């Protein structure tokens, strides 16, 4: 069955370190998205991609970057982790022609 | 700017006590209104998409309805396993695949 996976599921890091969160989908979807979820803010869009070599900034993109070298993967990099980036991160994907997004299980990131 | 507001923030029900969750929205050209269920420690799970006012969709004890300003998620005779956070999201005319999410309603069903 097609699925979307994220790794690691839990990560603890220190302020200033670079961190990369992986997202892999086997739906063959062109669209991929990264969100963070915090109490009181709901799901907020960080970055998104409509296909290979395409990346776009979402509403909370500062301090994050993504790259898309193939259809299946959209890794999220925190260039220099900050305590404000402690959150739960979700990856999602959708078909080019549709809007329904399917979510991964999430990564809980703690920045100390 | 597309906006989604969900109410109530939290809802406690007794098993079998039917109720509704509300999702109010403002959008320029609705492409779709989505309902998701999220269990603690998990990613949102897709439930329904509604595309136009008057549309209804059902799944087990859940029924989603849509008007030009609101969507309702009706829960009939809920069971404890229906306890979860329910998220509403919309895709607007200029969103090009992006969704705007509400903050969710935390539903707790007591046996």
Q: Is the pLDDT of residue A64 over 90?
A: yes
Nearest to B99 among A50, A99, A105 (CB): A99
Rounded to a whole number, what is the distance in Å from the CA of A41 to chain B's nearest CA? Answer: 7
Tell me if A103 sits within 8 A of A92, measured CB to CB. yes
Closest Cα partner for A28 from A60, A71, A61, A59? A71
Q: Say yes or no for a CB contact (<8 Å) between B102 and A101.
A: no
Q: Say yes or no for a CB contact (<8 Å) between B44 and A43.
A: yes
pLDDT at A40: 79
What's the token pair of residue B2? 């597309």
Q: Is the pLDDT of residue B95 over 90?
A: no
pLDDT at B60: 95
Q: Is the pLDDT of residue B96 over 80?
A: no
Q: What does the pLDDT average to over A4-29? A: 97
Q: What does the pLDDT average to over B32-38? A: 96
Nearest to A42 among B31, B49, B103 (CB): B103
pLDDT confidence tier of residue A48, bands split at 50, 70 and 90? very high
Q: How many Å apart are CA B86 and CA B44, to the nearest integer?
A: 9
Rounded to a whole number, what is the distance in Å from the CA of A96 to chain B's nearest CA? Answer: 8
Q: What does the pLDDT average to over B29-54? A: 95
Q: Convert the pLDDT of each residue in A78-106 to its tens digit.
A: 999 999 999 999 999 998 767 899 999 99
**For testing the chain A interface, which of B42, B97, B106 should be mutated: the one with the most A CBs within 10 Å?**
B97
Q: Say yes or no for a CB contact (<8 Å) between A100 and B32.
A: yes
Q: Sign of torsion, CA A24 A25 A28 A33?
A: negative
pLDDT at A67: 97
pLDDT more than 90, % of chain B: 87
Q: How many Å apart are CA B102 and CA B99, to the nearest integer?
A: 10
Q: What does the pLDDT average to over B79-97? A: 91
What's the token pair of residue A55? 């990346």
Q: Say yes or no for a CB contact (<8 Å) between A31 and B104.
A: no
Q: What does the pLDDT average to over A25-51? A: 93
Q: How many Å apart are CA B97 and CA A48, to the nearest integer?
A: 10
Cβ count near A76 (within 10 Å): 23
pLDDT confidence tier of residue B1, bands split at 50, 70 and 90? confident
Instruction: Please give, one letter per residue, the 3-state secondary structure of chain A.
Output: CCCEEEECCEEEECCCCCEEEEEEECCCCCEEEEEEEECCCEEEEEEEEEECCEEEECCCCCCEEECCCCCCECCEEECCCCHHHCEEEEEEEECCCCCCCEECCCEEEEEC
Residue B91 with chain A: CB contacts under 8 Å? 99
B61 touches chain A (CB under 8 A): no
Cα first-last separation, chain B: 41
Q: Is beta strand A107-111 parallel, antiparallel or unpaired with respect to A10-13?
A: parallel
Rounded to a whole number, what is the distance in Å from the CA of B2 to chain A's nearest CA? Answer: 13
pLDDT confidence tier of residue B45, bands split at 50, 70 and 90? very high
Residue B52 with chain A: CB contacts under 8 Å? none
pLDDT confidence tier of residue B28, bands split at 50, 70 and 90? confident
The per-residue DSSP string of B7-41 comes to E-SEEEEETT--EEEEEEEE-SSEEEEEEEEE-TT
Q: What does the pLDDT average to over B63-86? A: 97
């Amino acid at each position: 069955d097609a699925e979307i996976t994220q790794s690691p599921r839990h990560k603890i890091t220190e302020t200033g370190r670079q961190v990369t969160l992986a997202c892999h989908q086997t739906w063959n979807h062109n669209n991929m998205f990264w969100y963070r979820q915090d109490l009181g803010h709901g799901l907020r869009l960080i970055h998104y991609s409509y296909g290979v070599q395409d990346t776009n900034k979402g509403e909370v993109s500062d301090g994050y970057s993504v790259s898309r070298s193939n259809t299946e993967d959209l890794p999220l990099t925190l260039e220099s982790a900050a305590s404000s980036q402690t959150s739960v991160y979700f990856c999602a994907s959708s078909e080019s022609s549709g809007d329904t997004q399917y979510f991964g299980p999430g990564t809980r990131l703690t920045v100390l | 700017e597309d906006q989604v507001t969900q109410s109530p923030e939290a809802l406690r029900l007794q098993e079998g006590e039917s109720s509704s969750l509300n999702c109010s929205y403002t959008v320029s050209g609705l492409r779709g209104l989505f309902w998701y269920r999220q269990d603690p420690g998990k990613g949102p799970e897709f439930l329904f998409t509604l595309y136009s006012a008057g549309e209804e969709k059902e799944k087990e004890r859940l029924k989603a309805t849509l008007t030009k300003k609101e969507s309702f998620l009706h829960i009939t005779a809920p069971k404890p396993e229906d306890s979860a956070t329910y998220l509403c999201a919309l895709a607007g005319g200029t969103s090009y695949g992006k969704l705007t999410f509400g903050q969710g309603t935390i539903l707790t069903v007591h046996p």
